[in-house]
Structure 1
Amino acid sequence: MTHATARTRRASAYFTATASLAALLVTGWSNAAFAQDSTQAADSGSTAPSGDDTAAPVQGTSDQPVSDIVVTGVRASLQSAQSIKRNAGQIVDSVVAEDIGKLPDRNVAEALQRITGVQIQRSYGEGSSIAIRGLSQVRTEINGRDVFTANGGRSLSLEDVPSELLAGIDVYKNPSAELIEGGIGGLVNLRTRKPFDFDGFKLSASAGVNYYDLYGKSKPQANLLVSNRWDTGIGEIGILADVAFQKTAFRQDQISSEPFFRLLPSDAEDAAVLAGLGRTGQETYLAHGTGIGQYLGDRRRLGVDVAVQWRPTDTLQFTGEYIRSDYKFQYGDYSFFAYTGDADITPDYTQPFTFDDAGNFRSGTFVNVPINANTSLERRKSVTNDYSLHGVWNPTSDLEVSGDFQYIRANTDGQRSIVILSSTAERFRTSVGNGVPTMFIYGDDDPTNGDGSTTNFDNYRSGGGYLDHIEHSVGTEYAGRFDVKYQLHGGFLRALEGGLRYTDRSAITDSSTYAYYGISTPLPDSLLEVRPFRGELYRGYQDVPVGAVFFNRNTVLDYDATREALAPYVADSQRQALLDGVGYVPSDRNTQGENTYTAYGLVRFGSDDFAVPFDGNLGVRVVKTKVNTSGFQVRTPQVQVGTDNEGNPLYGNGDVVYQPISVDSDYTKALPSLNLTFHLTRELQLRLAASEALSRPSFTQLNPNINIVEYNPTGQRREASSGNPSLRPLTAKQLDASLEYYFASTGMVYGAAFYKKVDGFIANVVDQETYTFGDNSYVYNVSRPVNGDNGTIKGFEVGGNTFFDFLPGIWSGFGVQANFTYVDSKAPSPDAEDNEGNPILVPLEQLSKYSYNLVGIYDRGAISARVAYNWRSKYVVTTRGNGSGNLPIFNAPRGQLDASITYTVNPNFAITVDGINLTDTENRTYYGIESRPQSSVLNDRRVSLTARITY
């Protein structure tokens, strides 16, 4: 039996067993020993986005009489989310955990994709980042406070946090003055639980296993929450500890065609190629190769939440909390490329070629094509520690005074190392454009009897090299705020609110340049391995080589062992440097410091005597930002290193000089906001909102480091790249309208329209700058991010959810959720060009014009189930892809089906089966137009089995 057949049978057996279990649970439901009216209420957390612990939810307990009717399961989570949306002072959408440790999706980003207007990006099969209404500048918070990953950005990597740690997630799509500034796309607030959320003792524990079918691996997960509260001589005290642990695995198979280059009839060499292809004078584009990628990796998430609450009197309450997010990510991949890059590729004119009607290459054979067989390691470890203390005092029923202090320290360490084996394909045949690309390698020394499978493995023992890169980031922040709220009675004005906030944030990032070490002597068999592809790759795909030879992946996964293993085979002059490992030079460091000073004022108002009752809030948030950026201008002068045979001077690079750079900047912004809600009937309300928001540049974009080299052997214009410490924030003027109809506790329909005018889109542009060495001045083409023109984003959302309670018996447990989003952007794009240098107009990156969610629900008695389909239309991945020949890369439309079913055995014990990517969705990308494919990608289907107890 082959490995592929064995893996397929194991996966089939696993899916069969899972389906059988689900069927057994459904069959057993009708004989459940209890009814929905005797089960425990779902837990939900505070909806207050400002660290306000007073907005605690209503909780059910296991002590409730059997006669009480308590909503549970999916129905409870929808009811809670609907209540948050209906009663909020802004346009808000929420996802609420239906039970402790059970968001509807295991990944935070994937849970957010169910919300109208939210689109997610996936990384190796999992959701990793989001955009709201087309904008990726999204602010992330935990319990209304800052949270971030130390990675040169400003927000939290959503893939870092175990979803079991959360009570719910709220998405604010338009701001009000009391919300912290920083996201023109929106604000995502992750909510954890507090001990005062529960009436007394609470214990919840879960354990599960996740199976990944493409990789053929299983990984564990677990969650434990313990909470209690006591009346003591010094007041009421509550303590909660929540720990969530996940291990996941992934495998991603990818087959790619390389960029398409136009053959120019006016160029003599291109004209000769056109003649050889029989296409003289015809529009013709040739792909410059094909590649295979297979990524095998794992993730580990550890989340900790410890909260202590103290209520010494009825008017005073303190909450201290520690939250830790600890994330590890690693993969080792096999990458096999036949690729010429920007250099010409040589056709084999003796073999047939085909093209489509537009002249795009479809199939053909090429000769003497360079090959790389790479084995690499990528690793990231991110830890965020969040300490907070919140106090609230209510001296009267109308006055609330609160204070909040927070300290965050975040660290990220990363490594990227690649072992490259090089060879040449005597003949290389490929076809693209009709599904997954094909790849065949032919050679005179082919060990596979000439069937076009692969080249002679001996060809890979010499040539190639090793690339080494490390990075380390540290981010810290001190934040404090003070807020006052005063309730008014009997008039148009309902409440007055105001507050102050101060932050002191620093971000230090060290990122080494890639060090390269050439392999100078042949590698031994002990360091090489053969990776099979045909029948193993892409779920049994046949049109690829039988296999290829690579540096041993198990060695690559050990960073130190890789360098030690390679040391004997690199040049003597590089050996010690390789053993020591790559380090940092002064210009590898990007140092940022930022202080913000904020004040806001807000008035809440309303009238029940107006023709249409209404309420709302009007406020302004004024924030001053001071930024200090430091780095280095790296200057490498030209020096004479000798003379040629005729006595002419020869030049090279001299000693590097590091000149410190320090740039201070500041700006003040006033951010007004108005939110109105008109209560047209008891069930129907209209919201109108107008506001201004800002997003600050990332710390990576502000990096001032620049490397200026005088020596110029090519004779072309000198080049350099840098960040821009003078970037100003993006600002957006926003208009929102939402019409919402609530016809049941778990039934609503809504429609929303939005318009954003964004000022200062950031794009990398090339400009000419002059630098001087001694008496000589030179003009350099310098690439920097700059604030560009304005842009507009507009669109609408529609959605709703309901249960079919009017149906008889078990049929009343069925329900549906559905939403649709349309987003259109008129925004400037970076300088995307085609191969001839002509500009290409593309929409905002990562923005799909259309997206929708369709979720089928069942919740009655002991059974709670969902089947969810998420779809989005095509979008621009990047306007200038790395290795794409500066072409934009588009992602084709994509949909994914997920499902889950929970069987509640009794009020204290439940079993859940989840399935992710059940349709085995293929992800496709292409260069500009679909007839120029870029890649076809497959990821794992995942099935999970989880047991959960609650007391």
Structure 2
Amino acid sequence: MTGSTAARGSRANLKATASLAALLMAGWAAPGLAQDQSGTAPTQAPSPTPAPSPEGQDSSTVNATTAPSGDQGVVDPNSGNSDASGGDVVVTGVRASLSSAQGIKRNADQIVDSIVAEDIGKLPDRNVAEALQRITGIQIQRNFGEGSSIAIRGLSQVRTEINGRDVFTANNGRTLSLEDVPSELLAGVDVYKNPAANLIEGGIGGLVNLRTRKPFDFDGFKLSASGSANYYDLYDTTKPQANLLVSDRWDTGIGEIGLLVDLAYQQTAFRQDQISSQPFYLLNDTVGANGTPANPTDYATAQGLNRVGKPTYLSHGVGIGQYLGDRRRFGVDAALQWRPTDTLDLTAEYIRSDYKFRYGDYSYFAYTGDNPITPDFNQPFTYDKDGNFRSGTFVNVPTNANTSLEQRKSVTSDYSLNAKWRPTDRLTVNGDFQYIRGTTDGQRSIVILASTAERLNTAVGNGVPTMIITPDNNPANGNGLVDDPANYASGGGYLDHIEHSVGTEYAGRLDVDYKFDNSFLRSIAAGVRYTDRSAVTDSSTYAYYGLTRALSPDLYQTRLFRGDLYRGFQGVPDGVTFFNRDVVLDYDATRQALAPFVDPSQQQALLNGVGYVPSDRNTQGEKTYTAYGVVRFGTSGAVPIDGNIGVRAVKTKVNTSGFIGSSAQVQTGVDTAGQPVFGNGPIVYNALTVDSNYTKFLPSVNLNFHFTNKLQLRLAASKALTRPGFDQLNPNIIIYENNPTNGQRTATTGNANLRPLTADQADVSLEYYFSRTSSVYAAGFYKKVDGFIANVTAPETYTFGTNSYTYQVTRPLNGDNGKIKGFEVGGNTFFDFLPGWLSGFGTQANFTYVDSKAPSPDAQDTTGAQLTVPLEQLSKYSYNLIGFYDKGPLSARVAYNWRSKYVVTTRGNGSGNLPIFNDARGQLDASITYTIAPHFAMTVDGTNLTNTENRTYYGVANRPQSSVLNDRRISVTARLTY
């Protein structure tokens, strides 16, 4: 049998179990027939298996673990069971998915969970981040209704890879925005929760590896096509989605050649409705020894409200917002494989992700910021027992009617070449080269129409805040249109911001693996890696242009709210007049339209558009030199043990370039009394370059105790690191001599001398596999993180000529240690013991507890001592409950994901230095698939079926911040596969 024929036979045996893979870990119900009901477990304890293959290699099999490149490395540990005729038992559908997921988890060297598309072009939940939320220990953040980023076991410092190689979005950061990639391109996603020396460093939270398909994954010709229509109910619009994969392989005179092309296209839409209370401020009604109020305005307000001597927290306004936007994703994966001999595989691959994001919003706010708000003392006010405002009426409240545009286009292109040589059965040499380039362009522009609400009545209560605006001359006019353009005859303006980022990287590596037979020492692996990365980001400051007169009538637009906003909520204005949103959505047209209405001295600058100054550019260069070694071992006996021990050595060289800008005070004129008036002169830029380097050693050890053929215990200890973001390393700063604010001079910058975060971590996992598709597990983890980065304000001295001034400069600094600990429990099973069609039911559940403590420079106790607080964006509790059915042609899934409250920020604006919390949130999703014919299936699925509301609050639940609603999505998909 030739090598290629053997490989095909091997893949044929794996096809039944690897085709759906670990998608059930995400709770997805797949089409297909569950043809095997035996659930037979291995009769012998599994033999020790090697760790995943060296980073980035393209391998056809990796001994029942997950290769960092391609899902062909996934092997079901229960495969090989035969029927009475000697043929292989074929397992499909959810059972294959669950079996393959268990194979990965059971046989990997590390603690690994995976999701694998059970059909070509079909990852669950249509979004990578949302699919990952089904995995134990992962929590996601949402951006306008879609999952956008994740945290693993409490840490958001997560490394992202594609096929075991670097991947990133050019946005001043280091990782990939998970919302950028069309999920249809992926064969699977692997989540490594503890590192090993052969995996690339960079994530103290964990590692997420996105895997694409290769032509040698298939026995021959393969074609798959799908089309979807996605309906978004709040927006009331439908968007298309499509995927096409074509793959084939041929035996030629120069060896076997395979070619695969995978195209994915998505359009999605979103509408987000939001109603927000503005920050709560405590009235200062204290009186000095001489009887003089410390704050006369606050004292008068407390007196008028009959609240002197009582704590009183007044919200300084309320706002409503409606965000309407769209996303477009286009992905390409082209892979060419060549096997000239049985011992050599060559793979070339091109992956492109092209992402566009845009929204335009209507936002209407009545608020005073940190300035006092004036109550109508003739109207009733209510408070809770702690003095938090509940309801009341205010007068002469400033308003802003804002129409804005935000858009981003990101393109990431990844070119890779891999060579794998097996000169002997024991020796494998793997070489890999990658070039990746990413670009991001973004704009943010806001047109502000300013006016005044004569009377604002609002009630926050425990529900959605109300916003009732009436004029003085007609207070009985319940909640009419705020639509007279004359209200905006003066005031208002235009804010303009642009940014452009380019990131590139060259990466090369060489890995060698040598296996031993019948000894305690199973194999030795070693490798070297080199990267050269650059990141250049231009980000303008916001340019402001004041509107000097009313706009022309065609530039106004009335947006109706009452009965529509927030699914029919009544406590908002009937409608509001805004700058025309259709114009706002055209970035260049907006400037053209506004130019006649700004000061003539600003017109040309507005028409030209905002530009960049030297201090807007952040330039980073980074080179890494890496070497690692891993020893794999195993013993037999009463309790077989296998594992690995290794160390990864990393040297990092960083070059940072920027500018220090300084503006000396100059005389700009004289006042009416003839006295000189001073202002800031032109900015002088001085180039700044900072070089730094550091070397880290990252040891790791993983042990697996096989108590029985079903029960095993894992123990792991390791050290990991995460490098600072490029935005945090940005050294640019501008110092204005004539810039005292409240008696202080202030400035903000980054810190080119930041050191990486490191984490010492320990993991334990007890796993029991009682059938092919059934298991329970419990895991505990502990991480001690050194060098948490936080923004700290401290005095710094700068000199202008003979004058020296002290500035309060805010910059990121490495802080003290933080601690994260917790546990995970979970399980999954099919109810095979039930008779007939009932045996198609199954369930999956998991629960995660995470407790964290980290230093916060802004959080202090009553003595002024620094407090430790929970990590931002981290829920202490989260769980998934999933029910599924898979029998015959019918598959169905219902999945509920819930997480407890979490800290959004440790110091909220106007919260009295209290954190802002996101309330607990749960979401229900479901799907049903019917396989009409062997090659054709139809799926209907829905997300956010419970119309989940997202709420935040200032410090305590009785001070609500915002209430948000997003679309429910219903999709219909037709899928054809040959």
**Shorter-chain TM-score range:** over 0.9
In structure 1, what is the Cα distance between the partners aligned to 2:904 and 2:865?
A: 19
Question: How much has 1:67 moved relative to structure 2?
Answer: 7.9
What's 1:684 paired with?
Answer: 711
Distance change in 2, residues 1:393/1:270 (3 Å): same
What's 1:468 paired with?
Answer: 496
Q: Deviations over 1:723-748 (max 9, x none)?
A: 00000000000000000011111111
In structure 2, what is the Cα distance between the partners aligned to 1:884 and 1:210?
A: 40
What's 1:146 paired with?
Answer: 166
Matches within 5 A, 1:851-930: 851-881=878-908, 887-930=914-957
What's 1:437 paired with?
Answer: 465
Question: How much has 1:76 moved relative to structure 2?
Answer: 1.7
Question: Does residue 796 of the first structure (1) align with residue 799 of the second (2)?
Answer: no
In structure 2, what is the Cα distance between the partners aligned to 1:835 and 1:205?
A: 63
Question: How much has 1:717 moved relative to structure 2?
Answer: 1.5
Question: How much has 1:454 moved relative to structure 2?
Answer: 4.3
What's 1:306 paired with?
Answer: 334
Q: Deviations over 1:371-396 (max 9, x none)?
A: 00000000000000000001000000
Distance change in 2, residues 1:894/1:755 (3 Å): same
Matches within 5 A, 1:196-215: 196-215=216-235
Of 850, 870, 873, 2:877 maps to 850
What's 2:325 paired with?
Answer: 297
In structure 2, what is the Cα distance between the partners aligned to 1:316 and 1:195?
A: 16
In structure 2, what is the Cα distance between the partners aligned to 1:534 and 1:67?
A: 66
Match for 2:159: what amino acid?
R
Distance change in 2, residues 1:216/1:833 (3 Å): farther
Question: How much has 1:466 moved relative to structure 2?
Answer: 0.5
Match for 2:146: what amino acid?
E
What's 1:9 paired with?
Answer: none
In structure 2, what is the Cα distance between the partners aligned to 1:886 and 1:231?
A: 69
In structure 1, what is the Cα distance between the partners aligned to 2:376 and 2:159?
A: 54
Distance change in 2, residues 1:859/1:684 (3 Å): same
Matches within 5 A, 1:663-812: 663-712=690-739, 714=741, 716-812=743-839
Q: Deviations over 1:291-313 (max 9, x none)?
A: 00100000001111000000000
What's 2:141 paired with?
Answer: 121
Distance change in 2, residues 1:48/1:142 (3 Å): farther
Q: Deviations over 1:163-219 (max 9, x none)?
A: 111111110000000000000000000111000000000000000100000000000
In structure 2, what is the Cα distance between the partners aligned to 1:59 and 1:231?
A: 25
Match for 1:142: what amino acid?
I
Match for 1:724: what amino acid?
N
What's 2:58 paired with?
Answer: 53
In structure 2, what is the Cα distance between the partners aligned to 1:213 and 1:840?
A: 44
Contact 2:469 2:479 in 1 (8 A): yes
Contact 2:926 2:941 in 1 (8 A): yes
Distance change in 2, residues 1:366/1:101 (3 Å): same
In structure 1, what is the Cα distance between the partners aligned to 2:850 and 2:74?
A: 37
Distance change in 2, residues 1:272/1:445 (3 Å): closer
In structure 1, what is the Cα distance between the partners aligned to 2:908 and 2:493?
A: 24
Q: Which moved more, 1:872-881 or 1:196-205?
A: 872-881
Question: Does residue 106 of the first structure (1) align with residue 126 of the second (2)?
Answer: yes
Distance change in 2, residues 1:659/1:834 (3 Å): farther
In structure 1, what is the Cα distance between the partners aligned to 2:840 and 2:812?
A: 54
Question: How much has 1:456 moved relative to structure 2?
Answer: 5.3
Distance change in 2, residues 1:59/1:180 (3 Å): closer
What's 2:291 paired with?
Answer: none
Distance change in 2, residues 1:35/1:364 (3 Å): closer
Of 927, 943, 949, 2:970 maps to 943
Match for 2:206: what amino acid?
G
Question: How much has 1:521 moved relative to structure 2?
Answer: 1.5
In structure 2, what is the Cα distance between the partners aligned to 1:476 and 1:57?
A: 29
Contact 1:753 1:795 in 2 (8 A): yes
Contact 1:625 1:667 in 2 (8 A): yes
Question: How much has 1:889 moved relative to structure 2?
Answer: 1.3
Distance change in 2, residues 1:177/1:839 (3 Å): closer
What's 2:207 paired with?
Answer: 187
What's 2:238 paired with?
Answer: 218
TM-score when scaled to structure 1?
Answer: 0.93
What's 1:229 paired with?
Answer: 249
Question: Does residue 531 of the first structure (1) align with residue 556 of the second (2)?
Answer: no
What's 1:408 paired with?
Answer: 436
Match for 2:310: what amino acid?
Q
Secondary structure of 2:94's match? helix
In structure 2, what is the Cα distance between the partners aligned to 1:286 and 1:66?
A: 78
Distance change in 2, residues 1:623/1:699 (3 Å): same
Distance change in 2, residues 1:144/1:714 (3 Å): closer
Question: How much has 1:50 moved relative to structure 2?
Answer: 1.9
Question: How much has 1:832 moved relative to structure 2?
Answer: 4.1
Q: Deviations over 1:514-562 (max 9, x none)?
A: 0111111211221001111110100000011111100000110001111
Question: How much has 1:643 moved relative to structure 2?
Answer: 3.4
Of 88, 97, 118, 1:77 maps to 97
Match for 1:532: what amino acid?
L
Q: Which moved more, 1:706-715 or 1:683-692?
A: 706-715
Contact 2:779 2:823 in 1 (8 A): yes
In structure 1, what is the Cα distance between the partners aligned to 2:238 and 2:809?
A: 49
In structure 2, what is the Cα distance between the partners aligned to 1:389 and 1:324?
A: 15
In structure 1, what is the Cα distance between the partners aligned to 2:599 and 2:686?
A: 32
Distance change in 2, residues 1:456/1:294 (3 Å): closer
Contact 1:923 1:937 in 2 (8 A): yes
In structure 2, what is the Cα distance between the partners aligned to 1:57 and 1:600?
A: 22
Aligned length: 908
Q: Deviations over 1:596-648 (max 9, x none)?
A: 00000010001013x31000000000000000000000101001223345554
What's 1:506 paired with?
Answer: 534
In structure 2, what is the Cα distance between the partners aligned to 1:889 and 1:58?
A: 43
In structure 1, what is the Cα distance between the partners aligned to 2:466 and 2:645?
A: 61
In structure 2, what is the Cα distance between the partners aligned to 1:472 and 1:427?
A: 43
Contact 2:133 2:140 in 1 (8 A): yes
Question: How much has 1:836 moved relative to structure 2?
Answer: 13
In structure 2, what is the Cα distance between the partners aligned to 1:684 and 1:866?
A: 29
Matches within 5 A, 1:831-842: 831-832=858-859, 842=869
Of 410, 413, 427, 1:385 maps to 413
Distance change in 2, residues 1:727/1:148 (3 Å): same
What's 2:449 paired with?
Answer: 421
Matches within 5 A, 1:205-354: 205-266=225-286, 267-354=295-382
Contact 2:32 2:93 in 1 (8 A): no
Secondary structure of 1:777's match? strand
Q: Deviations over 1:546-601 (max 9, x none)?
A: 11100000110001111111111111101111111111111100000000000000
Q: Deviations over 1:666-686 (max 9, x none)?
A: 000000000000001001000
In structure 2, what is the Cα distance between the partners aligned to 1:677 and 1:715?
A: 62
Unaligned runs of 5+ residues in structure 2 are 1-30, 38-50, 62-71, 77-82, 287-294
What's 2:663 paired with?
Answer: 636
Question: How much has 1:271 moved relative to structure 2?
Answer: 1.7
Contact 1:59 1:197 in 2 (8 A): no
Q: Which moved more, 1:919-928 or 1:881-890?
A: 881-890
Secondary structure of 2:728's match? coil
What's 2:194 paired with?
Answer: 174
What's 1:515 paired with?
Answer: 543
In structure 2, what is the Cα distance between the partners aligned to 1:949 and 1:110?
A: 25
In structure 2, what is the Cα distance between the partners aligned to 1:35 and 1:585?
A: 62
Question: How much has 1:835 moved relative to structure 2?
Answer: 13
Match for 2:373: what amino acid?
I
What's 1:88 paired with?
Answer: 108
Identity %: 73
